[in-house]
Structure 1
């Protein structure tokens, strides 16, 4: 009898009818915003993402006490009507707009289910505005809500509607639905809710702010007891009036019973993991996924299960080593490490750590920047000589066993320093000639500037890009600032070095990504095959189906022979080179490739190294507002003094972490690939 009225209000138009049909169809399908779970490589959870903390339940997973409580206080005729209390609708519609009146009255649980769905599911982008629209005091809104409710009643069973409402309703303190609220408030599950517990949840449903049991316990208690009285009146405690009254009084005498510390599911990357130590990896993962086609909405509301590559054991070992070398509260000094597993199909990121924790309290040694994965505005020093050596091999102007010239001082005729030639000198005594392998171990500046001239600067920069320094060279400018979409703050760092004919590139002064450094080592140890450093194995949707990611494909960066030659050429650093003392002090005996780096002003030092099983890089740098030289014993800022070297802090961090990782996993020493060419 009411449909002519609905039609008269203009709600039977095709467009309105389509909207109603779509809404009721989505309600029947019941896809609610769910929690996304991030797992480590072993399947253990490390972090959760959500806009609405919700544990979805089937009707049989919700206690009868909860169903009785919500029906008693909200809709005692729930099982008798067909979704709408028509007399109440018209009465509320007639009062709509009158001062002090709202449109909340006369709504059945089915209508409230509709209203909450429109606010908290369909209105996901702006819940506040959606709630206001879903509850606006207009006849049109009431009629639309009524029609959807009627259709829902035709498509769903009563118990499904009731469970749908109890799954979606906001219950305060970031909880939505009785599954999450039961755990948060009482440390229990929804199928075990007692009468007082169920009555409290029914009391605060849709009114969680004003009836918050933590901030307004007296009002919450008063409302809870009203619910209990309504349950009694609705015969929830039996037909014997005296017995029911006695039970009601016992239930009302019970305390609120809310646990002292609400059991809210941790949210986001801050605080992720034991310690917490997983935040840097978590933050990189989210950035990587969004670049790979997973939207923020999917992450926050999709109920995804994300299987990652993170190795908790490797992460703990690396974190302990980073803090052992540089305490987390050390003023102005960060010590960050990245670990990547070499491979032909993927380069799996196993750990991203720092002496800092991932967080917002700088006084506690925390930083909210994903420093092991981002491009930091400091150089890796002589590690860049790896790119010069690789380019020289590629262009046929050097071999790992062939000697190179190493003068004490060298003034380049190719590179310029203003109006004069670019002059470099060695920091120490070197032989006038040495093999390229010896040079990679001992790191003379002059020999590599000469090699850079012979190979060509553009080829050296391009080699760095191919081996893995991609975001470092093309994603930021020379100061390490991310390039804007219009490149107005460009050119890129790589282009700047090329255009400026800056021979200093081989000495590594530019901004650097620690993760990309580790991936360079992984590329060389993977027979020259570059893959993006991936933190993810697979992403499953709420139904367990895998979501395809738009990841960059692996590619051959250099031919396998060249990669093998570079690994052999870098194999002496841990034995007789700049990292030898650190290796010896750590008890390191495995074959490994490696290269240390120190910037001229000692504001940063680094170490890149790999075994066939793990590649990694460490960078120690001045991360405060007033960068200074870093000095040893203990590690600290020390003005403009001659400071620490890569072999003194970055290399020990690497060796101590990697020894613990290899030993704990029982990995036998693995031989390095042999070079058959480029010797």
Structure 2
């Protein structure tokens, strides 16, 4: 019975429509039945869309404790139930938009008759839409068709067909929903300006309050805005917004919502806005704290690669709980800032921390002295210099890890194998007709030198000779297996290969480009700092590679768990090889290239490490790990005019003769951060080498 009664206003409107159409479109008079049939054909489909489409909500990104680190959104919306909206707000919107809202049946036949007669006789166009019809229109524009400008244009067009469609849908809604729910849904979907949608977000953005606490002047201002959010924007047009607000207050008096005695007081109140608003959180990871921006951006890209779309993340109302450890993140951020100030010209210091494990490698921190942002003058960058292959100059001798691992696996050398190590050598280049590749040692070393001592002191000749013996395919394959998956897919500029380029340096991925270049083990190619930390995690996990994972869980707007697709972990080298290589890397901080910096820092813990320094000192690195922290610390030139990096307080660009080294400039932030994080924590010993990998087997 209720549904039949509710359809009466729509039937009356159809009769009215038929009369008007017949009168204004003669001689080809179109009956109301024909137009109604056309409308009915589309209404059912659109009603299904309305039922299926959920309004865009904000997605919250948190650290592993649940504390928010960023908000992602396309429409800033904080939905509230009908009971959570102040009576003043409901009264204000009804007074200015639809005075007969609580008595009409979804359409206002009286108002439509007046508007239709006015329109048909050449008067100014009048809408006569009820709040229920406006809800339909706004839901179509702001939700269903929000990514389709042409469809939005159709949702706004002044046509009888569009008004009939809205009217029929409004009548349907009125028959199935309570007035309070219709009003609340309307107030949750409507735009207030810019990216602010819904009364919950508007209350917070304009007044710093919640929807249930809105006062009459505040409610009247917001109610007045929905008619034209641009014209009545109180920040850009305060005079017009004030006039409109006071008009709404007068309408509230006329509608009996507030007494006339209160109107003068309400109209005398200032706008009372938050300064410099509307105040909204950044809708991207650019709004994250300095120690969380790169991590947030990586988490977002990780989910996109896992199958989420950017639009889903910005509108789905998810809660994304990440693996970010706030203590580790802040301590490492402080360490790199102390080493290289945020605004230091031309010098970046990245730091990544990954937790080893055979069933997953959780990323705990991704920081840099640079902050994730868009203002270079403040030391900001919008490139993810921690995750991407952004260290264009390379990680130096830390790449000798890959040659060593390949030699152990193939049996070409064991940890105690003596390696030829003259001061210089010219090595034949495989599969080419070019001249040999000449390599010099930087300093004096034993000749021969064991692989273990070579890892600690890092002579170039011994490792290029070992690389030549093992073969480039095996070394590159090992680099991929241990963790340089995305790095090796980039070209020698750290970017996506360009097949149109005639230069292999830019057209080929590194995995192809370096197949005949023995310089690879010297680490002169672009590399991802995060992936180098994950290389350490693979070794510390007994030879099991897992993707560096930033996600603990994702839940949807209703609190339901959302599965996240992830690459499976892989055993990439035998446990014996991983343990033996760890043992070989355990000398770096005691008798190797970072020992002096370790002593200066009071560092005595058992750990693994490998430093790296490029030929011109444009990049220096420390890659290693201690306890349950696998790390990479890289300091490299990141400006348009790269130069030699010089040690000092602070680290800087210049011409300092011998330049910086991985042990003197990249290792100190590691000692600084890990000393704090492990204070009071027992040492974890390094696994002993496997006897099977102490000597060569082939």
TM-score, scaled to structure 2: 0.91
Matches within 5 A, 1:576-615: 576-615=591-630
Out of 11, 30, 36, the position equivalent to 2:59 is 36
**1:24/1:152 contact within 8 Å kept:** no
Q: Distance in 2 between matches of 1:496 and 1:566?
A: 27
Out of 549, 553, 562, the position equivalent to 1:538 is 553
Q: Deviations over 1:250-281 (max 9, x none)?
A: 221222221224332332111312xx321111
1:212, CA displacement in angstroms?
Answer: 1.3
Change (3 A) 1:568 1:230: same
**2:396/2:613 contact within 8 Å kept:** yes
Out of 659, 674, 682, the position equivalent to 1:658 is 674
* Structure 2 residue 510 is the aligned partner of structure 1 residue 493: yes
Out of 46, 52, 59, the position equivalent to 2:75 is 52
1:199, CA displacement in angstroms?
Answer: 1.0
Partner of 1:241: none
Partner of 1:65: 88
**2:421/2:461 contact within 8 Å kept:** yes
Q: Distance in 2 between matches of 1:159 and 1:483?
A: 57
Partner of 2:101: 78
**2:71/2:284 contact within 8 Å kept:** yes
Matches within 5 A, 1:87-126: 87-93=110-116, 101-102=124-125, 105-126=127-148
Change (3 A) 1:411 1:261: same
**1:374/1:513 contact within 8 Å kept:** yes
Q: Deviations over 1:509-540 (max 9, x none)?
A: 11111111000000000011101111111111
**1:539/1:547 contact within 8 Å kept:** yes
* Structure 2 residue 385 is the aligned partner of structure 1 residue 371: yes
Q: Distance in 2 between matches of 1:391 and 1:662?
A: 32
1:183, CA displacement in angstroms?
Answer: 1.3
Partner of 1:392: 407
Q: Deviations over 1:441-460 (max 9, x none)?
A: 00011111111122111101
Matches within 5 A, 1:508-523: 508-523=523-538
1:645, CA displacement in angstroms?
Answer: 0.8
Q: Distance in 2 between matches of 1:152 and 1:278?
A: 45
Q: Distance in 1 between matches of 2:424 and 2:500?
A: 42
Q: Distance in 2 between matches of 1:139 and 1:632?
A: 75
**2:449/2:462 contact within 8 Å kept:** no
**1:54/1:176 contact within 8 Å kept:** yes
Partner of 2:284: 268
Q: Deviations over 1:184-203 (max 9, x none)?
A: 21221111111111111111
* Structure 2 residue 353 is the aligned partner of structure 1 residue 339: yes
1:631, CA displacement in angstroms?
Answer: 1.6
SS at match of 1:470: coil
Change (3 A) 1:249 1:675: same
1:402, CA displacement in angstroms?
Answer: 2.6
Q: Distance in 2 between matches of 1:328 and 1:479?
A: 24
* Structure 2 residue 681 is the aligned partner of structure 1 residue 667: yes
Change (3 A) 1:558 1:289: same
Greater shift after overlay, 520-529 or 253-262?
253-262
1:115, CA displacement in angstroms?
Answer: 0.7
1:616, CA displacement in angstroms?
Answer: 0.7
* Structure 2 residue 192 is the aligned partner of structure 1 residue 171: yes
Q: Unaligned regions of 5+ residues in structure 2, if any?
A: 1-10, 19-30
TM-score, scaled to structure 1: 0.93
SS at match of 2:168: helix
Q: Distance in 2 between matches of 1:294 and 1:100?
A: 50
Change (3 A) 1:98 1:394: farther
Matches within 5 A, 1:82-481: 82-93=105-116, 101-102=124-125, 105-126=127-148, 129-237=150-258, 244-262=259-277, 263-273=279-289, 276-376=290-390, 377-415=392-430, 419-474=434-489, 476-481=490-495
Change (3 A) 1:391 1:487: farther
**1:36/1:300 contact within 8 Å kept:** yes
Greater shift after overlay, 538-547 or 113-122?
538-547
